Amino acid sequence: MYPAAELLQTEVFARLPESMHLTDRPSTWLAARHVKMHSFLEGPSFDRAGNLWCVDLAHGRILRVDPSGNFEVILQYDGEPNGLKIHQDGRIFVADHLHGLMLLDPEHRTIRPYLQNVRREGLKGLNDLFFAANGDLYFTDQGESALENPTGRVFRLRADGQTVDLLMDGLAGPNGLVMNRAENVLYVAITHDNAIYALRMEPGGAMGKVSRFIQLSGSTAGPDGMAIDDAGNLAVVHAQAGTVWVFSPIGEPLYRIRSCAGLRTTNVAYGGVNRQSLYITEAEQGVILRAHLPYPGKLMYSHTDGLEQR
């Protein structure tokens, strides 16, 4: 249907040191999947100092990687952190499958629940999150949803920190999410449909129509984390395929970024000089990969001063 995507290579930016491998520690998340892994890296996000934050989903750890690639455990707690994004004011929000939306205090290295219920109903199991330019926080509530159990949801927590809107229900594994440059379309990775959905946003924030924007094929999983660049191109992680695809704003495949490590690519974030490098968490070997791209990533909410326009 389309010409073959240009192949881009990766390099290992950082590797979780063996001293931080947890091979004998019990993990209910790993036990449920019948696997043993020393870590499961996810949720990359850069702070203003150039540090890359990420999570270890398998063992409830919040990690920070300095610009030289050195890992540090910020805290470990009884949870399943899956996604992480940084607020404009420096607060760090974590999507936790067990506890809901969590708030991390990076200075005191503490974490506490921020949102555990919506309209008196418990959350199923959060997966990922994204801040819009106005401070609204979008997040996926995946739970154990799949094709045979399409119960996943997408929510928006307004910038007031109080108002929560249910944007979509009945999804087969909603995962990563990001908005287009104009922020009038919310892209959502639907892992178990192996597709990216486009949720159109009406003026004022009301939901418009939903369409299937990209249909992937292959992999025993599906799309995971996503990121957008300044040209409107969409980077999509293809989990368990060792691949990140980069699609044009109209859905044409431009680049295929191959993992030089394992197949369990999970999530992405733009960073580095001029934000022109894409950093990729890979969970099989516990590494962070890096690929260089022609366009810089879109400036994240964490790096704005409140004056930027959508």
C-alpha 83/C-alpha 69 separation (Å) is 20
> Can you tell me the mean pLDDT for 236-251?
97
Residue 249 included in any domain: yes
Contact 44, 13 (CB under 8 A): no
pLDDT at 306: 56
| β-pairing verdict for 195-201 and 185-190 | antiparallel
pLDDT at 31: 87
Confidence bin at 7 (pLDDT 50/70/90): very high
Percent of the chain topping pLDDT 90: 89
Catalytic position from the list 224, 229, 230, 305: 224
Measured between alpha carbons, how far is residue 273 from residues 6, 64, 85, 267, 296 in Å? 22, 19, 20, 20, 9
pTM of the model: 0.96
CATH of the domain at 123: 2.120.10.30
Burial class (CB in 10 A: 0-12, 13-18, 19+), 75: middle
Residue 93 included in any domain: yes
Does 233 appear as a known binding residue? no
Instruction: List the structure tokens of 294.
Output: 């022609």
Domain count, the chain: 1
Does 184 appear as a known binding residue? no
Average pLDDT, the chain: 95
Instruction: List the structure tokens of 162.
Output: 């109080």
Residue 126 included in any domain: yes
Does 127 appear as a known binding residue? yes
Percent of the chain topping pLDDT 70: 98
Residue 286 included in any domain: yes
Residue located via tokens 């119960």: 151
Chain segment 154-199, per-residue pLDDT in tens: 999 999 999 999 999 999 999 999 999 999 999 999 999 999 999 9
Q: Is 128 a catalytic residue?
A: no
| β-pairing verdict for 100-105 and 61-65 | unpaired
Which neighbouring-strand residues pair with 303?
none
Q: How far is CA 307 from the centre of its chain?
A: 25
Residue 219 included in any domain: yes
Q: Is the pLDDT at 39 greater than 90, yes or no? A: yes
Q: Which residue has the higher pLDDT, 112 or 25?
A: 112
The domain in which residue 231 lies consists of 6-303
C-alpha 139/C-alpha 175 separation (Å) is 9
Does 267 appear as a known binding residue? no
> Can you tell me the mean pLDDT for 53-58?
98
